[in-house]
Amino acid sequence: MLRDRTDTRAALWRIAAGQRGYFTAAQARTAGYSYQAQRYHAQHGNWLAVDRAIYRFREFADLPSDGDEQFVRWSLWSKGRAVVSHTSALAAHDLGVANPSRIHLTVPHGFRQSTDTAILHHAELGDGDSEGRTGYRVTTPLRALAESAADGADQDVLESAVSEALERGVITRRKLMHAAQLCGPRSELGIERALGALS
C-alpha cells in the first residue's frame, strides 16, 4: 500500500513540477488521489489550497521564484485557454515599470468563466502573438506593448517598456508601429507618443 501512495505522489509531482508546483483537483484525481484524499492533504497542510480545485505543493511555496508563478494559477483556472497579456505581460517580460494591480488575461471569444480578480480581454490570438513559459503562456513583447497602448495604459508605463524593449533588441520601431496600427488608433497614438519621447 505504501508503494502505491509513493507512486501516486510521484505521478502528481511530475505533473506539478512543470507547473511550478500547481495542479488541479482533476490532475490529482488522474494521478490517483480521491477527492477525500485531496481534502485530507489540503486540511493537513501538505497542499496549499490556492483557488477552487487548484492546489500547490507546499514545498514549492518555499522555493525562490521569479515573481511570475501566480500566472500558472490562471492558466490552470482557464484550463490553458488564458494568455497573460497587456500590462501583466509587460511585467512578465520585465519591461519598464508596469505593475498592474489586477492580472490581465486574453481569452478566446467563447470563454465563459468570470472572475473579479483578473481583467479578461476577449480576442483570438495568432500563432506568433504568444510564447510559452513554464506553466503558462504570455503575449510577446510586441503584442503586449501594442495591446497595452490600445487599453490606455499610462504613458510612463508605455515609454519605459518601449525604451527597454528597443534597448534589448526584442522589437524594432517599424514592427512596433505596425503592431500598433493593427490594434487601432488608440494604440497607434500611445506608441507614437512613447517613441517620440525617446527621440
pLDDT per residue over 50-92, tens digit each? Answer: 999 999 999 998 888 777 889 999 999 999 999 999 999 999 9
> Taking the domains of the chain in order of start, what are their residue ranges?
2-61, 70-198
Assign 28 to helix, strand or coil: helix
The confidence score (pLDDT) of residue 3 equals 47
Cβ contacts of 45 within 8 Å, gap of 6 or more: 58
Report CA Rg, the chain. 19
Query: How many degrees, rounded to 5, is the angle at CA 85 between CA 135 and CA 70?
Result: 40
pLDDT per residue over 159-193, tens digit each? Answer: 999 999 999 999 999 999 999 999 999 999 999 99
